[in-house]
A and B are shown apart, each in its own frame.
Chain A
Amino acid sequence: MADAHPPSGTGPLAKREARLAWGLLTPTITAVALVVVLPLLAIFWISIKPINLADLRAPEVVLREDLRGNPEAAGDAATIRYRLRNSSQEQPIGAVSFTDVIPDGLTVETLDDRCSLDGRNLSCALGDWAPGTRDTLTIPVTIGQAYFDNGLRPQDSPAVTDGASSNALTNSTFTLDNFARVFSGDEFFEVLWVTLFYTVFGTIGALLVGLFAALLLNKSFRGQGILRGLYLFPYVAPVIAVAFAWLILFDPFSGSANALILQMGVSQEAINFFGERPLALIMVTIFEIWRYFPLSFLFILARMQSIDTDMYESADMDGASPFQQFWYLSVPQLLGILSVLFLLRFIWTFNKFDDIFLLTGGNAGTRTLTVNVYEQAFAVSNIGAGAAVAVVIFGCLLTFSIFFLKYISQEEGL
């Protein structure tokens, strides 16, 4: 008898299943590749290009044509005038040329030696252009009756221009200036320090405050649902709405918080909460804690409610006090979710942009790496430098993620 053994390799059924799986995944993979992977590659590319916001528009040949001479009857003379210029003051355009159709009824008298006429099709080659070049081309014509009959004017058939301009995005000039710029000076270290401060304290603060809130609501009483919903408000509301509410609340001139502080005699003069170092950094961190404690609160509460109550009863019987129960029973049980939350929130706080951008715009010592991307790319208009900062961010994230994947796979839940 032949040896019996289980079938090996992939059978047709398994193959069909895999095919179906890939089929179902293809749309998602395509979309994500287009909008996530492609831009990521683009960021690396741009970060080594010398490119400014203005360079995004490639130089082009701008052409205007009109008929000069005001002809009134057949036989009159007139000129077709082409005015051309290079739209860019900084970049050259090579091999400039254009083609146009001369309307019926116009007879070309003399032809500019840069142009050639084939039937009614005119084509002109204007050579290489320096930045900011202007040129005018005139072609004398005689008007025929057909011109008046069909009513077609030279500008009715738009001329087609052509020219080889080097696109700042795709040409082959590379530079490391962007990175040199990003890393140079004390600024980078300040940005790094601000990012670290914001990330570490924002994450830990949100976790601790969330833990406190979860402890409060981890018992059933009337109104528990309402309070739970209420405590999620900061997270659910649009960031722009709450950020502006904070700005108005803490306004140095007409904010209620300052009025309250003056009235209570805490301080003698109004405090500029979002405009002073180092207070602004502390305030944006507090805002971060305020806005994201609901998330940690929700996760911790969910975990707490799944802890067996028997354990607490037996601890009670053994005489453990409430604090001992918290420290020796709850904390070890919550450690898993706390560390997962810490890692995830750490990365997400690190990535946070909107909050600081809306609150301080990165001023008063609150410029984090993410705000720096925007600052470099749009405020300073140096897209290359912005991309270089983005690459630095991505590098940091990759490091976090490797650590995270190593660690998280042993952890629960997520």
Chain B
Amino acid sequence: MRQGYVTGPVLGALWMIVLSVTVAVAMSFATGEAFRPSILLSLGWGAIAGVAMVALGRTRIVQVAVLIAIAAVVMLGIGPMLTGENTSAFARLFGAVALGAGFAISQAVILNEVVPGKLTRHEFEGAVIRFLTGFGYIFFTAIVLIPFYVMVMTSLKNQSELIQNPLDFSIDLSKGAALFRSYDELFTQFNFGTYLFNSFFISVLTVFITLAFAIPGAYAVARLRFRGQAAFSRSILLIYMVPMIVLALPIYIAFSMTGLRNSFWGIVMIYPVTTIPVALYMLQGYFRGLPAEIEEAGLMDGLSRLAVIWKITLPLSLPALASVSLYVFMIAWNEFLLAFMLLDDPSKFTLTRGIASLNSSEIPRQHLMAGSVIATVPIMALFLGLEKFMTKGLTAGSVKG
């Protein structure tokens, strides 16, 4: 295996498969036209190109030659990627050049240290790792983006377009504002404005109530000495482990009997309790990390404990509070099970419950996807804007699904 003339073609062949599948899927999704990778031809051409790049080196000239060769065989219809008969010439050329260029550039990087003859272990493994890295980037980006891409694009199309060619995600920009018809209908006919407001209001209330309960609790667990402290901090984690569906059943019964089902306040009462253990767990970890000396100085100077929490601990833990708030907001915003079980009245739906109500055969599915986009965009925007807090918050305490 550790021979330049073996490593080169094997990695070349495999890399060609990865790239031709990628380009074919990308072109299909972008144009809706028929592109498909050919595994056998990919193996063959990839191996040949790999050998060439090992034997001739990876100079600019070789790269350009490989690019042109691959693009040419694709255009001739015997390349690693095949196209249907009706594919437009421009799309074919674009795909061919993209595949050729992608391969020529990235394969040169992968085979960087691979020379004809015997390879050292470092050189060989380096090449394999670069291959895997490239594969990983493509793989992860694809699996993450494709569902979201499908979500957004579906929401912009109409039923007949979707059924005609499910692969065609190209958008007719000339339609202008009519593209957003599903969104318009959701807001005007399906009350999504109210749902959006409900979700937002409930999530914000949940954050405040959670913090009001969790801050004192976390402080007590982290700082104060009392009997049962260890047992308590451990049982937080245990409560965290009780599945919601087990609790949802009695909660449903209790809410049905007390008339809290179908009410805004019922939801506002129940959401914080599901988030308090998480928040408490995250915050106590942070409080423990704060230097106790500052607080002790405050105590010496005559502040009461509560004043110490308010004037010293809280200002110091603002970043943690931001993380926790974001995380709690995310949980409340995304919560589905309780909203689904406890809310039946369309005027009180949260966004997730509203989307669930769109899942019927009578409502076109671009509405369903538009609803999903409406629910996803705010949380994504918040997340990307405050990514640092979010990642910190997630690592600090979120083991919860």
Q: A1: CB under 8 A from chain B?
A: no
1/0 contact trace for A374-399 toward B, CB 8 Å?
10010000010011001001100100
DSSP majority for the A interface? Answer: helix
Contact (Cβ within 8 A) B242 A234: no
The B271-294 residues at the A interface (CB cut-off 8 A) are 272-274, 276-277, 280
Q: A81: CB under 8 A from chain B?
A: no
Most buried by B among A235, A241, A255: A241
Q: Which residues of chain B are within 8 angstroms of A321 by Cβ–Cβ distance? A: 121-122, 125
Q: Which residues of chain B are within 8 angstroms of A82 by Cβ–Cβ distance? A: none
Contact (Cβ within 8 A) B256 A56: yes
Contact (Cβ within 8 A) B399 A21: no
Taking CB as reference atom, which chain B residue is nearest A31? B273
A50 CB, min distance to chain B CBs, angstroms: 15
A306 CB, min distance to chain B CBs, angstroms: 11
Contact (Cβ within 8 A) B334 A390: no
Q: B398: CB under 8 A from chain A?
A: yes
Q: A373: CB under 8 A from chain B?
A: yes
1/0 contact trace for A2-27 toward B, CB 8 Å?
00000000000010011011101101
Q: B173: CB under 8 A from chain A?
A: no
Contact (Cβ within 8 A) B387 A229: yes
A135 CB, min distance to chain B CBs, angstroms: 27
Q: Which residues of chain A are within 8 angstroms of B202 by Cβ–Cβ distance? A: none
B261 CB, min distance to chain A CBs, angstroms: 11
Q: A317: CB under 8 A from chain B?
A: no
Taken together as a complex, chains A and B put the C-alpha atoms of A43 and B284 apart, in Å, by 30
Interface size on B, residues (CB 8 A): 104
Q: Which of B24-32, B43-51, B54-62, B72-80 contacts A (4 or more CB under 8 A)?
A: B24-32
1/0 contact trace for A206-236 toward B, CB 8 Å?
0000001101100000000101111111111
Taken together as a complex, chains A and B put the C-alpha atoms of A155 and B365 apart, in Å, by 51
Contact (Cβ within 8 A) A233 B148: yes
1/0 contact trace for B220-264 toward A, CB 8 Å?
110011110100101001110111111101110110110000000
Interface size on A, residues (CB 8 A): 97
The B373-392 residues at the A interface (CB cut-off 8 A) are 373, 375-376, 379-380, 383-384, 387, 390-391
Contact (Cβ within 8 A) B372 A244: yes
Q: Which residues of chain B are within 8 angstroms of A240 by Cβ–Cβ distance? A: 334, 336, 352, 355-356, 372, 375
- Total number of A-B contacts with CB less than 8 angstroms? 276
Q: A42: CB under 8 A from chain B?
A: yes
Other-chain contact of B401, A24, A43, A260, A349 (Cβ < 8 Å): A349
Q: Which residues of chain A are within 8 angstroms of B272 by Cβ–Cβ distance? A: 31
Contact (Cβ within 8 A) B239 A234: no
Contact (Cβ within 8 A) B372 A245: yes
Most buried by B among A46, A225, A233, A323: A233
Contact (Cβ within 8 A) A373 B401: no
Other-chain contact of B249, A347, A350, A377 (Cβ < 8 Å): A377
B84 CB, min distance to chain A CBs, angstroms: 8
Q: A125: CB under 8 A from chain B?
A: no
Q: Which of A94-102, A109-117, A179-187, A295-303 contacts B (4 or more CB under 8 A)?
A: A295-303
Taking CB as reference atom, which chain A residue is nearest B134? A216
Q: A260-B28, A292-B401 are in contact. Are A28 and B336 (CB under 8 A)?
A: no
Q: Which residues of chain A are within 8 angstroms of B125 by Cβ–Cβ distance? A: 321-323
Q: A344: CB under 8 A from chain B?
A: yes
Contact (Cβ within 8 A) B251 A43: no
DSSP majority for the B interface? Answer: helix
Q: Which residues of chain B are within 8 angstroms of A161 by Cβ–Cβ distance? A: none
A261 CB, min distance to chain B CBs, angstroms: 10
Q: Which residues of chain A are within 8 angstroms of B150 by Cβ–Cβ distance? A: 245, 248-249, 256
Q: Which residues of chain A are within 8 angstroms of B361 by Cβ–Cβ distance? A: none
A222 CB, min distance to chain B CBs, angstroms: 13
The A249-273 residues at the B interface (CB cut-off 8 A) are 249, 251, 253-256, 258-260, 263-265
Q: Which residues of chain B are within 8 angstroms of A349 by Cβ–Cβ distance? A: 401
1/0 contact trace for B18-39 toward A, CB 8 Å?
0000001100110000111100
A8 CB, min distance to chain B CBs, angstroms: 15
Q: B395: CB under 8 A from chain A?
A: yes
Contact (Cβ within 8 A) A264 B24: yes
Q: Which residues of chain A are within 8 angstroms of B371 by Cβ–Cβ distance? A: 241
Q: Which residues of chain B are within 8 angstroms of A251 by Cβ–Cβ distance? A: 166
Q: Which residues of chain A are within 8 angstroms of B352 by Cβ–Cβ distance? A: 238, 240
Q: Which residues of chain B are within 8 angstroms of A394 by Cβ–Cβ distance? A: 242, 246
Q: Which residues of chain B are within 8 angstroms of A322 by Cβ–Cβ distance? A: 122, 125-126, 129
Q: A197: CB under 8 A from chain B?
A: no
Q: A124: CB under 8 A from chain B?
A: no
Taken together as a complex, chains A and B put the C-alpha atoms of A18 and B226 apart, in Å, by 5
Contact (Cβ within 8 A) B243 A32: no
Residues of B that sit less than 8 Å from A by CB: 24-25, 28-29, 34-37, 84, 121-122, 125-126, 129, 133, 136-137, 140-141, 143-148, 150-151, 154, 162-163, 165-167, 169, 213-214, 216-217, 219-221, 224-227, 229, 232, 234, 237-239, 241-247, 249-251, 253-254, 256-257, 270, 272-274, 276-277, 280, 305, 330, 333-334, 336-337, 351-352, 355-356, 359, 365, 368-369, 371-373, 375-376, 379-380, 383-384, 387, 390-391, 394-395, 398-401
A-B contact pairs, 9 of them (CB 8 A): A56-B253, A213-B136, A216-B137, A240-B336, A241-B151, A351-B401, A353-B244, A370-B243, A373-B249
Query: Known contacts A35-B247, A39-B246; can you find 5 more A-B pairs with CB under 8 A?
Result: A31-B272, A34-B273, A39-B250, A227-B141, A260-B167
